Chain A
Amino acid sequence: AQSVTQLGSHVSVSEGALVLLRCNYSSSVPPYLFWYVQYPNQGLQLLLKYTTGATLVKGINGFEAEFKKSETSFHLTKPSAHMSDAAEYFCAVISIYNNNDMRFGAGTRLTVKP
């Protein structure tokens, strides 16, 4: 089954700085990829997803991610961090051989400093 690895369990940025959260997937076949966000004491919400087509995917709240097959990566970025972006972010992959099998990364907690 496919899996994802998120580099860095904690990332801290200053307000207004670039946000970069890293995700690499393991698969020889391009998978379906997702980023979810979890705010404190809440469930996860979908930020964006890549299934097919354009490799640069735009999501909610100004986030975007680029699918790079050559690097097996799907890093999440936002040009300018806002205090409200502080949350935990999860990369996830779903196998095209079992559409119900979604595997999540360990998560990256984003802190935004004023």
Chain B
Amino acid sequence: DAGVIQSPRHEVTEMGQEVTLRCKPISGHNSLFWYRQTMMRGLELLIYFNNNVPIDDSGMPEDRFSAKMPNASFSTLKIQPSEPRDSAVYFCASSLRDTNRGEQYFGPGTRLTVT
């Protein structure tokens, strides 16, 4: 298995632009998570889905952030408009909820820089 796939790996954009991050979970996994990591705040959960349905979005910072999971093999995290404070590494993770819901598999991350 290729593991969790994220794209792009690096993104540099200007303030005000729309940014879309993509994630392909491990095949067969039914939960998907979006995390953000910064030096100041550490690693924090933004939102997670189970069976493509958002379960907890309490970590989404504000309305500029949105996430979708149109099917079991694809999810997007969109920031519109982007701001410099959104600069961070964004990780996607997936898990098989029914067997061990604490065992999550993380992707390599997308490093976002907003100038």
Q: Do A and B come together as binding partners?
A: no
Taking beta carbons and an 8 Å cutoff, which residues of A are in contact with B? Answer: none
